[in-house]
Chain A
Amino acid sequence: MTQQWETTVSNEEKPTEKARAVRARQRAIGRELRRMYDDVAQEAVPDDFMDLLRKIDEAEESKGGKKVS
């Protein structure tokens, strides 16, 4: 791999091989981005969040005076 990479993202001089390589590279980066995002999305949700929702709910209900669940 040479330094051609960094200057040829939108360079159309030699479309075939380079463009293919760039696309492949972009796909790899895309996969990595999704993976980073999905990794977080798949983490267990911390208890704080449930506590928070419960508190909100309780506050709302005591204000509204009507029980939901």
Chain B
Amino acid sequence: MTKPKSPKAGKRCPDAIPRPQHTQPHLRSPRRRDFKTELLALIPFLRAFARSLTGNQEGADDLAQETLVKAWQSRATFIPGTNLKAWLFTILRNQFYSDRRRTWRQAPWDQEAAERIPGGGEDQLFSAQLSDTARALRCLSDEQREALILVGAGGFSYEDAAGICKCAVGTVKSRVARARKALMEILDGDDTLGDVARPAGGDAAREIMSQLDSLSSPDVGALGGKRRPK
């Protein structure tokens, strides 16, 4: 059996959604419980990543739950000692794109165009509560958005992010760089968002900060509030 190495040693799952395996007798053991415990601890991050992909809470939580089910079914293919978080994020990301492909097939309309309209499509209900940055994020391409979130917010290395997004490390780097540049352009004067995202020609940073004050709730101690493992 594979021995757990250092947490950083693993390369993480190369293949997105591992085949479901139903009977894994060796997993009906304490190790199975460990897996579940780790899974539980990572739910907050699955939710956060899902939220950044979908742009809304309900869809994100559905996605995170689908991910949990898949992860649990596929747990035998997880290699202990490798990066479970990256493994889960890979599953979540695949699930996101496959769900969306299905949605497209069912309702063929120009979702891409809808997504580029701030507050359009799925974001509509939430747009009023979104900060400038959150709205600007919706204007990025999927590739840029996910790369930026993984590296810039999720704390993943470029290598891990490349594994999750199934692309080369250099590709992730350039996507992150382009995403940063694009975000700044959107926030600081590009008229893609027009008046929606940027009311006047004011100081965007100050604007963001003031919005943040009203957005972020200080009561972190609530149930299940989890700290980020390093």
Contacts and interface: CB of A to CB of B under 8 A. Distances in A.
Contact of B48 (A37, A52, A68): A37
Interface string B181-194: 10111011110000
A40 B44 contact: yes
Contacts of A52: 65, 68-69
A16 interface: no
Interface string A42-62: 111110110011001100110
A43 B134 contact: no
For chain B, give the interface size range: 35 or more
Provide the main secondary structure of the chain B interface. helix
Contacts of A33: 133, 137, 148-149, 152-153
B51 A28 contact: no
A42 B220 contact: yes
Contact of B33 (A64, A66, A69): A69
18 contacts: A9-B184, A9-B185, A10-B181, A28-B208, A32-B131, A34-B152, A35-B212, A37-B149, A40-B52, A41-B48, A41-B226, A43-B44, A44-B223, A56-B69, A60-B72, A61-B28, A64-B28, A66-B28
